[in-house]
Amino acid sequence: MSEGDSIGESVHGKPSVVYRFFTRLGQIYQSWLDKSTPYTAVRWVVTLGLSFIYMIRVYLLQGWYIVTYALGIYHLNLFIAFLSPKVDPSLMEDSDDCPSLPTKQNEEFRPFIRRLPEFKFWHSATKGILVAMVCTFFEAFNVPVFWPILVMYFIMLFCITMKRQIKVTC
């Protein structure tokens, strides 16, 4: 490997200016994420505010419905992952009984661990809103569609998915 072939290194062996800039930018971003971790309510209020601004933008522009539909599907998938357990208890059970709480001293209690933790759910949802917002600045993403069909399809998809998620196995 010749000199300067490493990622982010210039010909002289030192990291390039661009590499240092983006590394520092990533560190600042991670620092802000770390500082925001304990403020759950504030984070969600900001996300709801961004969502409201996005909805107003789409309403005023009268377009970008396919982007909004994709955002809704993405948020639905995040929500399902947030509600789902990391390990499905029905797959862990050897018997045909319903999953239940431990009743004997020697049975192990396993707490509910989410497949998608709250912080990652918030972070992904916020990034999705910001990406959708950026897409509304480009006419290429303004695909002409009949939006009531998208709304009905989303409602059907939501109902079917939630029915499957809430369905009792016993």
Kindly report each contact of residues 68-74 with a partner whose C-beta sits within 8 Å and lies 24 or more positions away, as own/partner: 68/132, 68/150, 69/145, 69/150, 69/153, 69/154, 70/132, 71/128, 71/129, 71/132, 72/154, 73/154, 73/157, 74/128
- Element of type H or E holding 58: helix 40-61
The pLDDT value recorded for residue 1 is: 47
Q: What is the mean pLDDT of the chain?
A: 84
Rounded to whole angstroms, the Cα distance separating 170 from 143 reads: 45
The pLDDT value recorded for residue 86 is: 82
More confident residue, 110 or 78: 78
- Element of type H or E holding 57: helix 40-61
Rounded to whole angstroms, the Cα distance separating 19 from 10 reads: 9
* Average pLDDT value for residue range 147-160: 90
* Average pLDDT value for residue range 144-169: 84
pLDDT at 121 over 60: yes
- Amino acid in position 115: R
- In this structure, what DSSP letter does residue 10 have? -
How far is Cα of residue 164 from the mean position of the Cα atoms in its chain? Answer: 20
The pLDDT value recorded for residue 113 is: 81
More confident residue, 57 or 14: 57
Q: Name the phi and psi angles at 114, rounded to 5.
A: -75, 150
CB within 8 A of 111, min separation 6: which ones?
none
The pLDDT value recorded for residue 15 is: 82
Is there a contact between 130 and 67 (Cβ–Cβ < 8 Å)? no
